[in-house]
Amino acid sequence: MTLRVHRQISLKPCNSFAVEASASHFVEACSDRQVVEALAYAQAQQLPVLLLGGGSNLLLTGDVDALVLRMASRGIRVLNDNGQQVLVEAEAGEPWHPFVQWTLAQGFAGLENLSLIPGTVGAAPVQNIGAYGVELKDLFAGLTALDRLSGELREFSLQDCAFAYRDSLFKRESGRWVILRVRFALSRAAALHLDYGPVRQRLAEQGIDAPTALDVSRAICAIRSEKLPDPAVLGNAGSFFKNPLVSTELAQRLCTEHAGLVAYPQTDGQVKLAAGWLIEQAGWKGFREGDAGVHCLQALVLVNYGKATGAQLLALARRIQADIAQRFAVELEIEPNVL
């Protein structure tokens, strides 16, 4: 076996909440072969497997008695370029934001609205990450995954992945698929998305009338940096709750009862509400109990001020969920994976 299995390893550096927890077994896989070896080891030792990317979408509520398999493969390649459309493939272990910046540096547009999202390329399809009016599925061109049930590689198309809002087949069949590499359909001609949030306003303030994809990325990085805490400084997993989808009737009633409600009509007749607005209106913004709290600038973000446990953060989240349900008749769904 070419990989090294570590015992009783702290996972604090491996999760962006900086929650202290340990893994009974831990391995980093830098290739397909090492992934296969790690899974074979887990099977021989009768260990469950926890797949880990950047640990930015995870809340650990205790120690992990399993083989934690961290995807560490690297590599970016252009598979096809016809001068206008470009097909790019990246290995699962590539950090997401540096990958986005690489594509922009090559003159490839499409991923700019997804700038500064933490995590890895391989984890991105699981959550169908999205920001500022763009989701991963909008640029998705396929992926290669290992089926743990059959041991075979499988190629996935857009339809195969069953993407939905912060959801996918890989999330619903958690543990079955190991994503190895992902492909993206990008373009040399930018079709910019500027109408979600303060992106257009920020560009106007900078005097940019004809923005490039790189301009949009820089604006979004600035906005995110102002609104969201750096996990390297203050433990967090970004947005902790999904923006809820509600009926038009409920949205209309809430708009009547609460001036300033932030709502986005959807093509399917539902309305997406801003979870952060609901939480802030309920008075949770800046709340702190011990080292578990709600960020003072962004109510959608739960933070670890130092020594909060995953259980304490989850308990705070449950209190917020119950309060929002009681005040607004809206059920908030937790976005990170809770283990």
From the candidates 73, 115, 168, 239, give the one annotated as an active-site residue: 239
Residue (of 276, 302, 275, 272) closest to 287 by Cα position: 302
Query: Which position among 70, 148, 166, 183 bears the catalytic label?
Result: 166
Look up 24 and say whether it is catalytic: no
- Which candidate, 30, 27, 36, 32, places its Cα nearest to that of 6? 27
CA distances from 123 to 51, 166, 313 (A): 9, 12, 22
- 155 counts as catalytic: no
The answer to whether residues 194 and 200 touch, using CB atoms and an 8 Å cutoff, is yes
Nearest Cα to 184, choosing from 105, 80, 82?
80
Tokens in use for 280? Answer: 């802030």
Q: Among this protein's residues, is 335 annotated catalytic? A: yes
Q: Parallel, antiparallel, or unpaired: how do β-strands 153-156 and 177-187 relate?
A: unpaired
Report the 10 Å Cβ neighbour count for 132.
20
- By annotation, the residues acting in catalysis are 166, 239, 335
